[in-house]
C-alpha cells in the first residue's frame, strides 16, 4: 500500500518519488512553492538567555580552582572527567543564581531548557517585556529570541569517489553519526544490520526506537504547534530516514521496488546512527532552543559527527545555533550542515550553515533521475522525452492526447493567472516564481487537459508536489527538451500512465539552481564543499525508497565521508577533517566559483591522504576597502590598507616537502612562492587581498593552489568584497 509522507522543505526543496508496488505513476513530492520556502516567523515567546561564562566545551581555564575543560587537539570532550564535573557544577550555580533572581524580578518567565556543554544559559518562555527584564539578571550576557527552523544514492558514489575508502577497509565502523532531523525509522531494511554489536553504554533515549544501528533515539519540540500531544522519536515525515540512509544505509541493499539498476549503499554503511528528532510531526518548524539542546545532547552522547539538514533565516551578528555549532566542534564533534535552498542569489546561505567551524554543503546534480517517458510530436517529428512526475495531485491516471499551447502570461510562468482559453489543450508553462499547484490550477481553470512544465535550470527534470485539487496530469521536462517544444510551430503530446524507471544521464556535477550561494550575511565565505543533492535515492519510512532533491540530501554525503575519515584517522580533529575534504575537493561541471561550491565537490579517496592541510581551510577577508588609483583620493602614495590573513600549512606526507604556492596575482598576493615544511610539521605564509583595478561592490574569489613535490596538490578558496 502506498504511503504518503508530507515533506518539510526549506532545506529539502524536496523532490520525493516514493514508488508503490503497482505499475502506476510515481508518488512524487516537491516543495509546493517551487521556490525556497521561508521558515515560520514563530518563536516570539521563546528566548535564549546567555550567561557570561563560557560553556564546558570552550572553557580554557582562568577561574581559580577550576581546570580547563576544552579538549586537547584531536580529543573529544570528556563529559565524565573531574574537571568537567567541577566546571559544570560552577555553571549550574550561576544558572541557579539567575533562576532565583528570576523568581523575584521576572516571575512570568518559564525555564524550558538548560545548557552547559555547548552553550551556557537558559531557554525561557516569556513575553517581550519579561525578556527585556531578563537582560538585567546576574551574569547575563545577552537575551536572544529563538528562531524557527525547517528541515531542509546508488549513482552518487562515483561523483564523491568514496570507493577508494571502502577498498582500503574504511566503512564507518565504530563511528557514531547524529542525525538531527525528523527522526529515523530503525525498522527500515536499508538501516538494519544485525551484525553490528551495540556499543557499551548504549542504547540511549527511547529504546523503543533504537536498534543495533540506531543507538540513540531522543525527541524535542514537544510544545511546538503541529506536534502530537505525546511526541516520540518516530519519523512521521520521511526526511530524516532518507538522510540516515544516505549516511549509513547497509551495503549491497537491493531495491525491492526494482527501480534502481544497481545495489544501494550509504556512504559509511557500518556507521552507527543517533536519532535526534527535532521535528516530531508531519509538517512543523522547530525552535532553535530545541535544536541547540539536541546538539548538546549529541555531544554528551559521544557522537563523532552530526548531520543537520535543516536551516532558518540567517541574521547578521549573534546567531544562537552558530555559537552552538562552533562549540560542538570545539568538543570534538564534526558538524556538517546544509547550505540551504535559497539559490541562486547571493548571500542566501541559511543558519546555522553560517557557522565558521561547520562544513557547509552545497548541492550538485546526480548521474540519474527517476521518471517516465512521454511522447511529443514537434512539426511532424515524434520524440520520446523523459519527464518528472507529480503527486498527490497532477498524476497521469489515464491517456491524454492533445495539442500543446505555450502560455505567454507572466513570462510564461502563469503565476498571476492565464488570460487565454486552453480548452482541450496541454499547457506549456515555465517553472519558477510560484507553486506548481498555482500553475496547474491556472491551466485547469482555463480548460487545459494537462500541463507540461519546463525546468528553469540546466540538467534533468524533477518530480513535483502538486495538491490534490489539481485533477489534470502535470509533468516536467528538461530545459533543453522544453526549448525544442517552444521552437516547434505545431506541437502535440501524449501523456499516459507508465512505469517509473531510472534514467541515466550525463547531466551530473552541475550546480543545482536551488543551492544557496555565499557570501554569508556576515560576509564570510560559504559554502565549504559540494556533494550530490539532486535525485538522491534513499530510504523513507515503511520500507520504501524515494528520490529527494535539496542541500538536505547533499549534506549526508559529506557526513558519511566525515565518518570514513574519522575511522581512517581517529586522531583528526573536526578542523582537520574539514581541511582534508576542502583541500582535495574537485571542480563541478562548470567553472568553479567558491561562492557557489566552496572548495568544490568532495573527493573521499583523495581526502584520505591529502598532501597538506591548511588552517584555515578557506580565507574570508570580508569587506576590503577599495585602494584609490595612484594620484587619486586620500590613499595617494600609501600602501594597501588591506589586512593579510595567515595560513598554517601542515605537512601530512611521509617526507619533507617544499610546497609551491600559486594564486591569481591580480586578486591576492602570497608572501611566499615556496614553503619548506618538514614531515609532520607546520609552517606559515600570509595572503593579502588586492583591490587595485577592482570596482566597489565587486566579489573577488578564487583559489590558492599548494603543490607538493609529487605533483599532487590542495587548494584554498578565498573571497572578499570590494568596499
Contact 509, 158 (CB under 8 A): no
Say whether pTM exceeds 0.95.
no
Cell numbers that stand for 177 in this block: 553519526
Distance CA 301, CA 346 (A): 37
Q: CB neighbours of 190 closer than 8 A, spacing ≥ 6?
A: 245, 249, 250, 253, 264, 266, 538, 539, 545
The confidence score (pLDDT) of residue 639 equals: 47
The confidence score (pLDDT) of residue 41 equals: 37
Distance CA 216, CA 176 (A): 10
The confidence score (pLDDT) of residue 329 equals: 97
Name the one residue in this structure whose C-alpha cell is 543495533: 212
Residues of the chain where predicted confidence (pLDDT) is lower than 50: 1-43, 153, 634-641
The torsion angle over the Cα atoms of residues 496, 498, 503 and 508, rounded to 10 degrees, is 50
In this structure, the number of other CB atoms found within 10 A of the CB of residue 575 comes to 17
Burial class (CB in 10 A: 0-12, 13-18, 19+), 96: exposed
Distance CA 19, CA 23 (A): 9
Q: What is the DSSP code (8-state) at residue 384? A: E
Closest CA to 475 of 428, 443, 421, 521: 428
Q: What is the CATH code of the structural domain delimited by 150-366+509-607?
A: 3.40.50.200
Distance CA 231, CA 479 (A): 43
The torsion angle over the Cα atoms of residues 249, 389, 345 and 158, rounded to 10 degrees, is 40
* Domain made up of 368-503: CATH architecture: 3-Layer(bba) Sandwich (3.50)
Q: CB neighbours of 112 closer than 8 A, spacing ≥ 6?
A: 46, 122, 123, 124, 125, 289
* H-run or E-run covering 160: helix 157-160
Q: Which residues participate in catalysis according to the annotation?
A: 181, 239, 552
Contact 14, 361 (CB under 8 A): no
Note the helical H segments in 274-393. 288-300, 320-330
The confidence score (pLDDT) of residue 9 equals: 34
Q: What is the DSSP code (8-state) at residue 585? A: -
Contact 496, 400 (CB under 8 A): yes
536-540 sheet: strands from edge to edge: 27-30, 15-18, 544-548, 536-540
Cell numbers that stand for 265 in this block: 549503499
Contact 574, 334 (CB under 8 A): yes
The confidence score (pLDDT) of residue 457 equals: 79
* Domain made up of 46-145: CATH architecture: 2-Layer Sandwich (3.30)
Cell numbers that stand for 329 in this block: 566542534
Cis peptide upstream of residue 610 (ω within 30 degrees of 0) = no
Name the one residue in this structure whose C-alpha cell is 591580480: 666
pLDDT in tens, 613-635: 999 999 999 999 987 655 555 44
Residue 703: phi and psi, rounded to 5, are -135, 140
One fold for 46-145 and 611-722: no
CATH 1.10.730.10 fits 611-722, yes or no: no
Residue-range domain boundaries for the chain: 46-145, 150-366+509-607, 368-503, 611-722
Closest CA to 452 of 433, 480, 478: 478
Closest CA to 66 of 50, 77, 74, 54: 54
Contact 375, 384 (CB under 8 A): yes
632-659 core/surface letters (b: 16 or more CB in 10 A; e: else): eeeeeeeebebebbebebbbbbeeebeb
* H-run or E-run covering 660: strand 657-662
Closest CA to 371 of 482, 499, 490: 499
Q: CB neighbours of 62 closer than 8 A, spacing ≥ 6?
A: none
The confidence score (pLDDT) of residue 152 equals: 65
Q: How would DSSP label each residue in 163-178?
A: HHHHHTT-S-TT-EEE
Beta strands in 158-260 (DSSP E): 176-181, 204-205, 214-219
Amino acid at each position: 500500500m502506498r504511503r504518503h509522507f508530507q515533506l518539510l522543505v526549506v532545506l529539502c526543496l524536496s523532490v520525493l518519488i516514493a514508488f508503490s508496488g503497482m505499475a502506476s505513476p510515481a508518488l512524487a513530492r516537491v516543495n509546493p512553492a517551487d521556490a525556497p520556502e521561508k521558515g515560520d516567523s514563530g518563536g516570539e515567546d521563546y528566548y535564549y538567555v546567555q550567561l557570561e561564562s563560557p560553556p564546558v566545551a570552550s572553557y580554557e581555564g582562568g577561574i581559580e580552582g577550576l581546570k580547563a575543560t576544552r579538549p586537547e587537539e584531536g580529543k573529544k570532550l570528556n563529559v565524565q572527567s573531574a574537571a568537567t564535573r567541577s566546571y559544570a557544577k560552577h555553571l549550574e550555580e550561576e544558572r541557579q543564581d539567575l533562576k532565583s533572581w528570576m523568581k523575584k524580578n521576572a516571575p512570568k518567565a518559564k525555564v524550558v531548557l538548560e545548557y552547559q556543554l555547548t552553550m551556557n544559559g537558559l531557554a525561557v518562555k516569556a513575553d517581550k517585556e519579561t525578556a527585556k527584564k531578563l537582560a538585567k539578571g546576574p551574569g547575563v550576557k545577552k537575551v536572544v529570541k529563538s528562531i524557527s527552523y525547517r528541515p531542509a544514492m546508488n549513482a552518487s558514489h562515483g561523483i564523491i569517489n568514496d570507493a577508494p575508502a571502502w577498498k582500503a577497509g574504511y566503512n564507518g565502523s565504530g563511528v557514531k553519526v547524529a542525525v538531527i532531523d525528523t527522526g529515523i525509522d530503525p525498522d527500515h531494511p536499508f538501516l538494519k544490520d544485525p551484525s553490528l554489536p551495540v556499543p557499551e553504554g548504549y542504547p540511549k533515549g527511547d529504546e523503543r526506537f533504537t536498534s543495533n544501528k540506531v543507538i540513540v533515539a531522543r525527541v524535542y519540540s514537544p510544545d511546538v504547534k503541529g506536534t502530537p500531544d505525546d511526541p516520540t522519536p518516530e519519523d512521521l515525515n520521511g526526511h530524516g530516514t532518507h538522510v540516515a540512509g544516505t549516511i549509513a544505509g547497509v551495503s549491497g541493499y537491493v531495491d525491492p521496488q526494482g527501480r534502481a539498476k544497481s545495489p544501494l549503499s550509504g556512504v559509511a554503511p557500518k556507521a552507527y546512527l543517533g536519532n535526534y528528532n527535532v521535528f516530531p510531526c508531519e509538517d512543523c518548524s522547530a525552535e532553535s532552543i530545541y535544536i541547540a539542546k539536541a546538539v548538546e545532547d549529541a555531544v554528551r552522547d559521544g557522537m563523532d559527527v552530526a548531520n543537520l539538514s535543516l536551516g532558518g533565516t540567517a541574521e547578521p551578528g549573534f546567531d544562537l545555533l552558530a555559537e552552538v555549532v562552533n562549540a560542538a566542534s570545539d568538543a570534538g564533534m564534526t558538524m556538517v550542515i546544509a547550505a540551504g535552498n535559497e539559490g541562486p542569489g547571493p548571500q542566501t546561505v541559511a543558519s546555522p550553515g553560517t557557522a565558521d567551524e561547520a562544513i557547509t554543503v552545497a548541492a550538485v546534480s546526480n548521474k540519474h533521475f527517476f521518471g517516465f517517458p512521454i511522447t511529443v510530436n514537434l512539426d511532424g517529428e515524434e520524440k520520446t522525452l523523459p519527464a518528472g512526475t507529480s503527486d498527490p495531485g497532477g498524476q497521469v491516471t489515464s491517456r491524454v492526447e492533445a495539442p500543446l499551447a505555450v502560455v505567454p502570461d507572466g513570462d510564461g510562468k502563469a503565476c498571476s493567472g492565464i488570460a487565454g482559453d486552453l480548452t482541450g489543450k496541454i499547457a506549456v508553462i515555465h517553472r519558477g516564481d510560484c507553486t506548481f499547484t498555482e500553475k496547474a490550477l491556472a491551466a485547469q481553470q482555463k480548460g487545459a487537459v494537462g500541463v507540461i512544465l519546463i525546468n528553469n535550470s540546466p540538467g534533468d527534470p524533477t518530480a513535483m508536489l502538486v495538491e490534490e485539487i489539481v485533477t489534470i496530469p502535470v509533468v516536467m521536462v528538461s530545459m533543453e527538451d522544453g526549448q525544442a517544444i517552444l521552437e516547434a510551430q505545431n506541437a502535440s503530446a501524449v501523456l499516459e500512465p507508465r512505469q517509473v524507471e531510472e534514467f541515466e544521464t550525463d547531466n551530473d556535477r552541475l550546480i543545482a539552481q536551488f543551492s544557496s550561494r555565499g557570501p554569508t550575511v556576515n560576509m564570510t565565505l560559504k559554502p565549504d564543499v559540494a556533494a550530490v543533492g539532486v535525485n538522491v535515492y534513499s530510504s523513507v519510512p515503511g520500507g520504501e525508497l524515494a528520490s529527494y532533491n535539496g542541500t538536505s540530501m547533499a549534506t549526508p554525503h559529506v557526513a558519511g565521508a566525515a565518518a570514513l575519515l574519522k575511522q581512517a584517522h581517529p586522531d583528526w580533529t573536526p578542523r582537520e577533517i574539514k581541511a582534508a575534504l576542502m583541500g582535495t575537493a574537485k571542480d563541478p561541471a562548470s567553472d568553479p566559483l567558491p561562492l557557489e561550491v566552496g572548495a568544490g565537490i568532495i573527493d573521499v579517496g583523495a581526502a584520505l591522504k591529502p598532501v597538506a592541510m591548511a588552517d584555515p581551510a578557506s580565507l574570508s577577508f570580508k569587506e576590503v576597502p577599495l585602494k584609490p588609483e595612484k594620484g587619486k583620493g586620500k590613499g595617494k602614495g600609501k600602501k594597501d590598507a588591506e589586512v593579510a590573513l595567515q595560513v598554517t600549512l601542515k605537512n601530512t606526507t611521509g617526507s619533507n616537502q617544499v610546497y609551491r604556492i600559486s594564486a591569481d596575482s591580480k586578486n591576492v598576493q602570497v608572501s611566499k612562492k615556496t614553503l619548506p615544511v618538514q614531515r609532520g610539521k607546520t609552517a606559515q605564509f600570509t595572503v593579502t587581498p588586492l583591490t587595485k583595478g577592482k570596482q566597489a561592490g565587486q566579489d573577488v574569489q578564487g583559489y590558492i593552489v599548494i603543490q607538493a613535490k609529487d605533483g599532487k596538490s590542495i587548494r584554498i578558496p578565498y573571497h572578499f568584497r570590494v568596499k
